[in-house]
Amino acid sequence: MEENTNTTPSNFIRDIIEDDLKTGKHAKIHTRFPPEPNGYLHIGHAKSICLNFGIARDYKGQCNLRFDDTNPTKEDVEYVDSIQEDVKWLGFDWEDRMYYASDYFQKLYDFAVKMIKEGVAYVDNSTAEEMKNQKGTPTEPGTNSPCRERSIEESLDLFERMKNGEFEEGAYTLRAKIDMASPNMHMRDPLIYRIKKATHHNTGDEWCIYPMYDYAHPLSDWFEGITHSLCTLEFEIHRPLYDWFLDVLHLENRPRQIEFARLNLTYTVMSKRKLLELVTEKYVSGWDDPRMPTICGLRRRGYTPESIRNFADKIGVAKRDAMTDVALLEHGIREDLNKRAPRVMAVLNPLKVVITNYPDDLTEEMETINNPEDPSMGSRKIPFCKEIYIEQDDFREDPPKKFHRLYPGSEVRLKSAYIIKCNEVIKNDKGEITELHCTYDPETKSGGSSTRSVKGTIHWVSARHGKKAEVRLYDRLFVIEDPSSHEELSFKELLNPHSLDINENCFIEPELAKAKAGDKFQFMRMGYFCVDPLSTDEKLVFNRTVGLRDSWAKLEKKDS
């Protein structure tokens, strides 16, 4: 991590931690980030990662990476690998503390035996259906299982035989003996272990019984000496159970579970199930499709780790459900890239301009600064000649009010080159504009002594030197702010049909052909773009990370 530039704002969790440090409840803070390896990490996980690792960093503690892998049927090493990559990319380091809940299967088993011996857990052979009926409803108490009073000896024997694989899946479970009348459904004798004859990504076929989350989690935290176990709000109702396991096992130096609101972002979905559906049903190209809110998607889109960490700091941490405006994320990446991205010129929708009074065979090398925000980034040369491309949008045959760009008879400055004047509009026989004939003013070369100024400055690329490229313009994935909460339509019916617009005939300045995968640029007046990982020398592909703020577009929209 970078040196002591801790500007992370405080929040209620940090308040608790500072208090625990002050009162001496803990001498050292220990947190953990506990993903289940059943999907790719998304921006919501990034919030949790920044919270947990950020706290460890700021209070000189430690944060573990722990895979919460207690359900072999859903988990896979593909996810284990991607999660590590994403956490590292975000800039955090778990050092030698990468664990699996499955590392603790033996200890977990031993503690379960202890619970049976203490009479607080029993083996049940009720079917799933019977158990559901015993459970009751939120308004009606449940009823005790007929197995609830099974003797300790018998439960011990059955539990061991469960472990030994003597029974079929579903035949037996281990349950906690708590209170079938509790108003909290999670306390109505919840399951501790179930039989699953599945191969586990980490432990293989060593086990055929697997602990449930509610049991594995508090104990895993305790094994690792976690002091503050941070999780999202939906686990709030599980907290009494979290504490119960620690209680009945008489464990000292207990971790404390604290819940905070998960991140929701406008115009996207955040549930792993929904993201998985988008991937498997091919609504997007993969987990790393740049429209996805996944960490790998954002990375491919051109987001930087700094901008995401910054975003996490800015949104804060609280207990109330919230829906954060994606504009805040976008602001963060613009802010970061504004400082770091070199400015280059690229024409996305080319319109040819012939400068009729410019020498036929001349090429001038125009000097241009790489980033006005950072002079240390230097300058470069770009070729200029008689034939150039400009953006179609920068010309209007019939200009609206306040249009500062090219139209018949008007003058604009070509960035870092000359002022040109539009004299003639050339059309084909269908009446489409194919070319503009302009003249330039040789006295107005950039950096020269001329003080003549015009209202508009536009970007351009030499038609003889520019290289072709494909540019992918991304927009929000969904058409409404909260696609998960529409009364009638499913989220998949609310996808934005224009979320990807591929532009294959773009021209970029020649220098840009050397760019490498992941390189980031500002295409002047257009937005921030990065080289796609699958881009090749033969076919250059750029992804638009985010557009520039466009007050002209806003003005024009308002006037229409």
> Which residue from 503, 497, 498, 511 is spatially nearest to 543, judged by alpha carbons?
503
Nearby residues of 164 by Cβ (< 8 Å), 6 or more positions away: none
Looking at the Cβ atoms of 239 and 291, the one nearer to RNA is 239
Looking at the Cβ atoms of 184 and 349, the one nearer to RNA is 184
Looking at the Cβ atoms of 289 and 368, the one nearer to RNA is 368
Cα 261 to Cα 529: distance, rounded to the nearest angstrom: 32
Cα 365 to Cα 233: distance, rounded to the nearest angstrom: 60
Judge whether 215 and 249 are in contact, CB under 8 Å: no
Min dist. Cβ of residue 379 to RNA (A): 12
Q: Tokens 């008879």, residue? A: 409
Min dist. Cβ of residue 554 to RNA (A): 6
- Phi first, then psi, for residue 397 (nearest 5°) are -70, -35
Looking at the Cβ atoms of 81 and 169, the one nearer to RNA is 169
Min dist. Cβ of residue 327 to RNA (A): 4
> Which token pair is 358?
């410019």
> Which token pair is 255?
């971790």
Looking at the Cβ atoms of 33 and 92, the one nearer to RNA is 33
Looking at the Cβ atoms of 289 and 350, the one nearer to RNA is 350
> Which residue from 412, 346, 345, 347 is spatially nearest to 380, judged by alpha carbons?
345
For 47, the enclosing helix (H) or strand (E) is: helix 43-58
| Three-class secondary structure of residue 500 per DSSP | strand
Residue 299 CB neighbour total at 10 angstroms: 21
DSSP 8-state assignment for residue 430 = T
Residue 326 CB neighbour total at 10 angstroms: 16
| Chain centre to alpha carbon of residue 474 | 15
Min dist. Cβ of residue 553 to RNA (A): 7
Min dist. Cβ of residue 534 to RNA (A): 27
Min dist. Cβ of residue 53 to RNA (A): 18
| Three-class secondary structure of residue 19 per DSSP | helix
Active-site amino acid positions:
36, 262, 272
- Phi first, then psi, for residue 214 (nearest 5°) are -60, -25
Cα 132 to Cα 171: distance, rounded to the nearest angstrom: 15
Looking at the Cβ atoms of 383 and 456, the one nearer to RNA is 456
Min dist. Cβ of residue 536 to RNA (A): 28
Nearby residues of 493 by Cβ (< 8 Å), 6 or more positions away: none
Looking at the Cβ atoms of 53 and 242, the one nearer to RNA is 242
Nearby residues of 137 by Cβ (< 8 Å), 6 or more positions away: none
Judge whether 255 and 221 are in contact, CB under 8 Å: yes
Min dist. Cβ of residue 23 to RNA (A): 15
Judge whether 140 and 157 are in contact, CB under 8 Å: no
At 442, the amino acid letter reads P
By DSSP bridging, strand 457-458 and strand 379-384 are unpaired
